[in-house]
Amino acid sequence: MFFIIFLTIYILANVYIMYRVVHDLNFRGTTAITFLVLYLAITFLSVYSLKIVRFNQPSIITKIITEIGYVWLGIFSISITYFLLSHLTIIFYSSPKFRYNITIVTIILIFVSSVYSFLNTCQTPQIKEVKISVPNLFTDKFTIVQLTDIHIDTATNYYEIKQIVDITNSLNPDIIVFTGDLADTDILKTYQKYGLLDFKSKYGAFAVSGNHEYYMGITKYETLCKNIKFKLLDNENILVDNKFYVAGITDYKTSKQVNYKPADVKKSLENVDFSKPVIFLSHQPNSFFEAQKYPITIQLSGHTHAGQIPPFDIIEYFMYKYFYGLYKEKNSYIYVSTGTRWWGPPMRLFSKSEIVKIVLEKANTVK
């Protein structure tokens, strides 16, 4: 049912875009046919790219097709948003000349936004530093590096992930946490090529599953975490060096839908001594509504990507109370990251990919 609804909306949206361009720009004859054929061809390619992205041993041609297809999906997403917004003006000014001019302006804005969004993801992830005062901290300063939503797929360059590993290590973290959606394809045979064994931190690395882990195969992810020495927290907690806790749940939504180790916040915090700092990991931020009932120090999440591109940034802003950034409820914090990389189209318009450096500081040392 979901696929049927999605496909119906996708087809109607593309028909609307084609109509606007052909009608408003007064395309006729060969010009109209050429535009429609090219548009339909690349639209089909974008849908096909969603299928081939899961190939385990893609060819160079497959990678190119995947990239083109994904970029086009991003352009389509921006296009339908801008065309619908411009349609609001047509309601009041519907003359052929005005429609022509507003459509030209819309296409220019789509082009500029798409180019910027693509170039934005070509940059190295920014280092986002967040400082939080913690009254029960066992030391003056404690550094957590959060990675999330890396989304390795068939088109991902090995060097790109190795660079993320190097940046993470350069921050000298006390712990590394990964809050889900590592890969969209099976990387059990290739994970060493990405440098995933090279993470370094004082107390180790901890992880939870995201929704894409269930799409890829949750048992494969469990094996992968063992191989790369990430402690996977499935509705459990661990006391580290008798100083602090790291707790985590399976994906808050998908685990319940497939009934495999359903997310259980209460179970994940069983027997925790809350006089010590508690770092709670959950891929989806909505679990914070439940987690904040306990005196956790901070929840770290991802999943939203800060929307990446329109209209998803607009939709998700209203869907999620904890959309992006640092929030505080009672005495607990939550930080929702934009993601270390992105999903699908390699495009970001109003946000940047980030590696998050969370610095916990003992309360009486903060001026």
User: Is the same domain home to 328 and 308?
Assistant: yes
User: Is the same domain home to 153 and 220?
Assistant: yes
Residue 266 reports pLDDT greater than 60: yes
Q: Which pLDDT value is given to residue 54?
A: 55
Tell me which residue range forms the domain holding 268.
126-365
User: Is the same domain home to 131 and 115?
Assistant: no
User: Is the same domain home to 147 and 171?
Assistant: yes
Q: Which pLDDT value is given to residue 6?
A: 81
More confident residue, 273 or 3: 273
pLDDT tens per residue, range 45-56: 787 776 665 555
Residue 284 reports pLDDT greater than 60: yes
Q: Is the separation of the CB atoms in 27 and 21 below 8 Å?
A: yes
User: Is the same domain home to 214 and 271?
Assistant: yes
Q: Which pLDDT value is given to residue 52?
A: 64
CB-count burial class (<10 Å; 0-12, 13-18, 19+) for 180 = buried
Q: Which pLDDT value is given to residue 366?
A: 43
Q: Which pLDDT value is given to residue 367?
A: 44
pLDDT bracket for residue 153 (50, 70, 90): confident
Residue 247 reports pLDDT greater than 60: yes
Residue 286 reports pLDDT greater than 90: yes
Q: Look up residue 125 and give its DSSP letter.
A: P
Q: Which of 71, 87, 121 is the last residue of a domain?
A: 121
User: Is the same domain home to 258 and 327?
Assistant: yes
Check the CA dihedral 265-269-275-281 and report its sign.
Answer: negative
Strand positions, DSSP E, the chain: 126-134, 141-147, 175-178, 205-207, 230-232, 236-240, 244-248, 278-281, 298-301, 325-329, 332-336, 354-362
pTM (global) more than 0.85: yes
Q: Name the CA radius of gyration of the chain, rounded.
A: 23
User: Is the same domain home to 143 and 10?
Assistant: no
User: Is the same domain home to 132 and 103?
Assistant: no
CA distance linking residue 116 with residue 343, whole number of Å: 17
Tokens 């999620």 correspond to 320
CA distance linking residue 294 with residue 362, whole number of Å: 20
User: Is the same domain home to 90 and 210?
Assistant: no
3-state secondary structure of 278: strand
User: Is the same domain home to 220 and 360?
Assistant: yes
Q: Which pLDDT value is given to residue 50?
A: 67
More confident residue, 116 or 48: 116
CB-count burial class (<10 Å; 0-12, 13-18, 19+) for 269 = buried
pLDDT tens per residue, range 7-60: 899 999 999 999 999 999 999 999 999 999 999 988 887 877 766 655 555 677
CA distance linking residue 64 with residue 110, whole number of Å: 22
Sheet-wide strand order for 278-281:
236-240, 244-248, 278-281, 298-301, 332-336, 325-329
Q: Which of 121, 145, 168 is the last residue of a domain?
A: 121
CA distance linking residue 99 with residue 345, whole number of Å: 29
User: Is the same domain home to 23 and 101?
Assistant: yes
User: Is the same domain home to 288 and 160?
Assistant: yes
How large is the average pLDDT for residues 246-251?
Answer: 98
How large is the average pLDDT for residues 208-226?
Answer: 96
How large is the average pLDDT for residues 225-232?
Answer: 98
CA distance linking residue 56 with residue 52, whole number of Å: 9
> Between β-strands 332-336 and 126-134, what pairing exists: parallel, antiparallel or unpaired?
unpaired
Q: Please count the structural domains in the chain.
A: 2
Q: Which of 121, 150, 176 is the last residue of a domain?
A: 121
Mean confidence (pLDDT) of the chain? 94
Q: 131-154 in b/e burial notation, b at 16+ Cβ within 10 A?
A: ebebeebeeeebbbbbbbbbbbbb
| Of the candidates 323, 353, 358, 324, the residue with the CA atom closest to the CA atom of residue 340 | 353
Residue 261 reports pLDDT greater than 80: yes
Domain CATH code at residue 166 = 3.60.21.10
